[in-house]
Amino acid sequence: MRQLQKEIDSLRLDNARLKSQLAALAPEGAEVPQWPVIAELWDERLASRQFPPKAQPHCRSSSLGDMCLRRLYYERIGAEKSPLETHVAGIFHVGNELEEDTRRALELMGFRIERAQETVEYYGTGPSGLGEVLLWRGHPDGILTHPHYGDRKWVLDIKSMSGMIWPALPDDPIECAAWLESATSKPWLIKYVPQVVSYLLAYGQTGEVLDGAILLFVNKDNSRIKLAFVELTAERAFRVVEAVKAVDRHVREKIVPPFVANPKACELCPYCGVTCEPAIVIDRETIVDMDDPANGLVLSSLRKWPSMKGPAKDFKDLDTVIKTRFRAMPPGKYLAPGIAEVTVKPPSKSGSITVKIHPLEQE
Ligand code: SF4
């Protein structure tokens, strides 16, 4: 038994449940079975590295460039989400290891990376225009300097990147930043520039002016490097601040933002199917899924809508069911074949969304 205990302790497990599971696998005095246990423990270790959803009073720098305002809203209120799958947790783990290795290599090359992971914060005025509220908080990988560049300094963020995407990443650092900002088919890439812009804004607010931001990408397949150089422009700053203010407004007013316009963002979204049900649309041409029971109420309301049109209260209730449902959808045209076509207009300046119903049976 002492031998078994020694083996368990040597694995340096900090999880009491795993320790007892491991002990249960071997009868007293027997050898600890090595291979199957190691594989299981490894997966459990990856799976345990996640935190339950928790409401946050501010946005996180790493997510505030998200294409989906609704997801940012869910993050803020701590909505329920699906746990990270083990293979996805594994991808993050590999990325973190590679980023750490890259940081060490840069230091060996004479660069200095200081204040790694320090907390940076950005404050804005409160909703009534008075007081200060924390809008976002982040943790940059560090401030990069090199004796060769005198007192110039950049905020640094290191990202590992799949070898599949690598060839598309431009070699020119300025083009690379612009490419990232337009990568709408890869929703996680589009968050990188706003993330470092949020750091630059936070440092600027404390009076510390940097020479820009460097996103340093490491190819996971062969460890090659490419850079994106991000300047703080008024347009970039405006986009970040406006997005955060919009999320804040939704949280304050308890109004769930519409579904994301690009359904690509819903792939791998942890809220999809748990808190968020964006699947009323079965394809990009926005044909309403007639067989989905979740659409039953809105479809039957649409069927009754033309015959009940009038001032009666019942009609108003029916109208409200339909319009509330479609106001939560991205702007566009929705076709419920044989019943109606519904047009959802983009929000007006005051934030109101017009929904127009065109019954097809009357045409
Ligand atoms: S499922 Fe889609 S619409 Fe819903 S929060 Fe996720 S990305 Fe946004």
Read off φ and ψ for residue 8, nearest 5 degrees: -60, -45
Is the confidence at residue 86, as pLDDT, over 90?
Answer: no
pLDDT of residue 84: 79
Residue with the smallest CA separation from ligand 1 atom 4 is 276
Q: Is a pLDDT exceeding 60 seen at residue 9?
A: no
Q: What is the mean pLDDT of residues 67-72?
A: 93
pLDDT at site 361: 54
Query: CA 329, CA 250: separation in Å to the nearest integer?
Result: 16
pLDDT at residue 332 is higher than 90: no
Two tokens, residue 245: 């203010």
Ligand 1 pocket: which of 190, 269, 327, 329 to mutate (most atoms within 8 A of CB): 269
pLDDT given for residue 1 in this prediction: 45
Instruction: Measure 122 CA to ligand 1 centroid, in angstroms.
Output: 26
List the CATH code of the domain at 59-253: 3.90.320.10
Task: Domain ranges for the chain, please list them.
Answer: 2-47, 59-253, 279-359
Q: How far is CA 357 from the centre of its chain?
A: 33
Q: How many whole angstroms from 259 Cα to the centroid of ligand 1?
A: 6
List CB contacts of 222: < 8 A, sequence separation 6 or more. 163
Q: What's the pLDDT score for residue 172?
A: 97
- Cα of 273 vs centre of ligand 1, distance in Å, is 9
For residue 133, how far is its CA from the centre of ligand 1 (angstroms)? 27
- Using CA atoms, how far apart are residues 210 and 154, in angstroms rounded to an integer? 6
Is residue 356's pLDDT more than 70? yes
Give the nearest ligand 1 atom to 74 CA.
5
Give the DSSP H/E element, type plus range, for residue 6. Answer: helix 2-10
* pLDDT tens-digit series, residues 204-223: 999 998 999 999 999 988 98
Confidence of residue 363 (pLDDT cuts 50, 70, 90): very low
Neighbours of 263 (CB within 10 A): 15
Q: Whole-number mean pLDDT of the chain?
A: 83
**CB under 6 Å to ligand 1: residues?**
68, 70-71, 74, 259-260, 265-266, 269, 271-272, 276, 278
Structure confidence by residue, pLDDT tens digits, 225-271: 999 999 999 999 999 999 999 999 999 999 999 888 777 777 778 89
Which percentage of the chain shows pLDDT scores above 70?
Answer: 82
Predicted local distance difference test score (pLDDT) of residue 225:
94
Cβ atoms of residues 78 and 54 within 8 Å: yes
In this structure, which residue's CA is closest to atom 2 in ligand 1? 266
Give 76-98 as a DSSP string: HHT---PPPPHHHHHHHHHHHHH
> Which residue has its alpha carbon closest to ligand 1 atom 5?
71
| Beta-bridge partner residues of 144 | 113, 154
Model pLDDT, residue 226: 97
**Rounded alpha-carbon distances, angstroms, from residue 108 to 102, 111, 222, 244, 361:** 10, 7, 19, 38, 73
If you measure from the C-alpha of residue 68 to the centroid of ligand 1, how many angstroms do you get, rounded to a whole number?
6
Mean pLDDT of 153-159: 97
* pLDDT tens digits, one per residue of 259-317: 887 777 777 788 988 898 775 443 444 666 666 667 778 778 887 887 777 667 778 88
Q: Please indicate whether residue 98 or residue 174 has the higher confidence score (pLDDT).
A: 174
Q: Which of 30-44, 195-209, 324-338 has the highest mean pLDDT?
A: 195-209
